[in-house]
Structure 1
Amino acid sequence: MTIRIVGVAGSLTAPSRTIELVEQIVAEIGRHLSVESEIVRVDELGPAFAGTLHRRDLTSEVERAVVAIETADVLVVASPVYRASFTGLFKHLFDFVDQYALVDTPVLLAATGGSERHALIIDHQFRPLFAFFSALTLPLGVYAHDSDFTDYLISSPRLRERLEKAVAKAVPLIRSNLAEREEIARTLAGLVEAVPERDPRAPVRLLA
């Protein structure tokens, strides 16, 4: 089975360590599973929705990005750290995502920053955000320090090891999650088929 992975990179500029991190995590998942992938880049969408308040006013490009997020089988999300949190435009993008679209969707969390102290963003900022959506945040996040990159490409063996470990822990949960979803879908389809179609001409009986 091929799964749809959507990466969301919250960087405001390019080239970007955050974009590189998202792309490498998505690629690593692709080494374990059959995937179709798409990367949503906030730096490309930013001017198109920065001042937008309502989803109905989004451009078609941003609307496509939101729909891609809502319909993903797996999300990989990352942001550079600003003021101990993710970027404002990263959060603003998720302001347009339907509250119930990500229920039980596996989400692998990642971030980049200039200080090891910022690693807490994964547990103190990302997990609460995706808890609101009732998404399934995967157990290991990936935090990368600026020194883990050379010319915006991953050069640190330690970061590569952490990335691979996070994906290795995530893959069994992703497989289990998708199998459970398929089983629920089959069950619901069976229930629909089992309900006899009512003849519209038949009289309606009202209970006393």
Structure 2
Amino acid sequence: MPRLNITGFAGSLSTPSRSRALVETAVGLASARFGAASHVFDLNDLGPSLGTARSLGDLDPKALVHVSALLRADALVIASPVEKGSYGGLFKHLMDLIDPGLLAGKPVLLAATGGGDRHALMIEHHLRPLFAYFDAQVLATGVHAAERDFLGTRLAGEATRARLVRAVGQLAPFLSPRVASEPDAAVFAPILRAL
């Protein structure tokens, strides 16, 4: 059976980045839990070709490696810093380049970073509708991490970490191995005799 792949994308240009740290933490938790390979990138990794691209084919080869990992992943972790109450323009530009059908059915854990709690609704008001447009399977729990939840770029807030663990757990129906077995004849025999 092929190994699962989880890709994380942080829609941040900052270095270091709290959004990337949040994505790396989530992807690390998910990879450990489900035995998956992982890939994490941010806007800086896509380079200058993103800004001028009119289609995915216009991206340079290095950027295409990252976008291909996103499109091939079995599950995604997507985070964005809150900028003026929403996600940033380059984040949205990348999403605009992706054909909606390419993310259909893909489980997505959504996250955001912002200065304070008032930014938490960005997940519900902006990210969730965006990924609903793609027909992605957005997890019920979104994770917002405020500035106080970090020590430098390390996620340190216990409540936020617990919420992240809960969100990662919601990937289980999509990523846990399913054992296909033949129906047990002994279980169905009484039912069949009654028919």
**TM bracket (short chain):** 0.7 to 0.9
Which residue number in structure 2 is paired with residue 163 of structure 1? 164
Alpha-carbon contact 1:66-1:97 (below 8 Å) kept: no
Which residue number in structure 1 is paired with residue 174 of structure 2? 174
Deviations 1:69-112, CA, capped at 9 Å, x for gaps: 11110000000000111111111112222221111000000000
Deviation, structure 1 residue 142? 0.6
Which residue number in structure 2 is paired with residue 62 of structure 1? 63
- What TM-score, normalized to structure 2? 0.85
Deviation, structure 1 residue 46? 4.2
SS across alignment from 1:144? strand
Deviation, structure 1 residue 68? 1.5
The answer to whether structure 1 residue 82 and structure 2 residue 112 are counterparts is no
Distance 1:160 1:86 in 2: 22
Distance 2:63 2:98 in 1: 11
Distance 2:84 2:47 in 1: 19
Which residue number in structure 1 is paired with residue 20 of structure 2? 19
- What TM-score, normalized to structure 1? 0.80
Which residue number in structure 2 is paired with residue 136 of structure 1? 137
Distance 1:78 1:3 in 2: 20
Equivalent pairs counted in the alignment come to 179
CA distance 1:150–1:173, change in 2 (3 Å) = same
Correspondence 1:88-127 to 2 at 5 A: 88-127=89-128
Which residue number in structure 2 is paired with residue 201 of structure 1? none
Distance 1:129 1:46 in 2: 23
Deviation, structure 1 residue 30? 1.9
RMSD: 1.9
Structure 1 unaligned segments of length 5 or more: list them: 183-208
Which residue number in structure 2 is paired with residue 202 of structure 1? none
Superposed structure 1 runs of 4+ greater than 6 Å apart: none
Deviation, structure 1 residue 54? 2.7
**What letter corresponds to residue 66 of structure 2 in structure 1?**
A
**What letter corresponds to residue 174 of structure 1 in structure 2?**
F
**What letter corresponds to residue 171 of structure 1 in structure 2?**
L
Distance 2:28 2:132 in 1: 25
Structure 2 unaligned segments of length 5 or more: list them: 181-195
Alpha-carbon contact 1:12-1:46 (below 8 Å) kept: no
**What letter corresponds to residue 65 of structure 1 in structure 2?**
H
**What letter corresponds to residue 76 of structure 1 in structure 2?**
V
Distance 2:31 2:110 in 1: 17
- Highest Rg: 1 or 2? 1
Deviations 1:155-206, CA, capped at 9 Å, x for gaps: 22122111112112x1322236x75xx9xxxxxxxxxxxxxxxxxxxxxxxx
Alpha-carbon contact 2:26-2:77 (below 8 Å) kept: yes
**What letter corresponds to residue 49 of structure 1 in structure 2?**
L
**What letter corresponds to residue 145 of structure 1 in structure 2?**
A
CA distance 1:55–1:166, change in 2 (3 Å) = closer
**What letter corresponds to residue 105 of structure 1 in structure 2?**
K
Alpha-carbon contact 2:78-2:110 (below 8 Å) kept: yes
**What letter corresponds to residue 144 of structure 1 in structure 2?**
A
